[in-house]
Amino acid sequence: MDFIRIYSIFLGCVAAALIVYLLSRRKKNTADDIERERRQLLDRVGRITDGNVLDVQESYTEVGTGKDPLFHELLIYQYEIAGVEYHCSQDVTRLRQWINLHSCRVGLLTSVKYDPQNPGNSMVISERWNGLRS
62 versus 22: the higher-pLDDT residue is: 22
Q: Does a structural domain hold residue 132?
A: no
The residue range of the domain holding 84 is 31-123
CA nearest to 48, candidates 122, 126, 128: 122
Residue 70 lies in a domain: yes
> What total number of domains does the chain contain?
1
pLDDT over 70 at 64, yes or no: no
Q: Decide if 103 is inside a domain.
A: yes
pLDDT tens by residue, 37-50 = 999 999 999 999 99
Does 87 have pLDDT greater than 90?
Answer: yes
- Cα separation, 116 vs 110, in Å, equals 18
pLDDT digits (tens, 9 = 90+) for 65-84: 556 567 788 889 999 999 99
Start-to-end Cα distance in the chain: 79
Identify which of 98, 115, 132 has the alpha carbon closest to the alpha carbon of residue 44. Answer: 115
pTM over 0.75: no
- Asked if 110 and 131 touch (Cβ cutoff 8 Å), the reply is yes
